[in-house]
Amino acid sequence: MVISNLNIKLIEDRLGFINKAVAKLKKTANLSEDDFFSGDATAVAESYIRRSLEAMFDIGRHITAKTAGKGIVEYKEIANALGNAGVITKEQAERLKLMAGYRNRLVHFYHEVTDKELFSILKSNLSDMENFIKDIKAFIEKYRQQEKPFQI
């Protein structure tokens, strides 16, 4: 189906939030393990990771709703739809599916999330969020440059 009424401002606002969150997460990632585990850094990390993931899936949900003609609510389905349509790379879609699972863990199994895994994510996985931002910005740029609509 053809993209109709894609709300670029909404997407850019969410991307801005993710950018700010990633910047804060990078600062938190620079803490020593002792400082990370002894203060509120774990709560900061969990909050910004979870909220960033929510923003990423809000963006994906909006794009798929405007292109597929229906709302997709399952996060892994959103990742698949974005990858299949070329909105994000296939590799990024696979990473996004993993992030969907982690988002569910943060929300539904929060009591099992450890400070060590949060610290590990800060050290190893923030680039996944940055790559998502790059892919969505590229998609927006293509969308703005083309008169003919995209199709999914």
- If pLDDT is split at 50, 70 and 90, which confidence band does 70 have? low
**Hey, is 2 helix, strand or coil?**
strand
The full set of domain ranges for the chain reads: 8-145
d(CA 151, CA 22): 30
**Hey, is 129 helix, strand or coil?**
helix
Lowest mean pLDDT among 65-69, 129-133, 147-151: 147-151
Superfamily of domain 8-145 in the CATH hierarchy: bsu32300-like (1.20.120.580)
d(CA 139, CA 137): 5
Look up the pTM and report it.
0.89
Which residues, including other chains, have CB under 8 Å from residue 127's CB and lie 6 or more apart?
none
The distance of Cα 69 from the centroid of its chain, to the nearest Å, equals 22
- If pLDDT is split at 50, 70 and 90, which confidence band does 143 have? confident
pLDDT number for residue 67? 77
In percent, how much of the chain has pLDDT > 70? Answer: 91
Three-state secondary structure of 44-93: HHHHHHHHHHHHHHHHHHHHHHHHHCCCCCCHHHHHHHHHHCCCCCHHHH
Query: For residues 146 and 61, which has the higher predicted lDDT (pLDDT)?
Result: 61
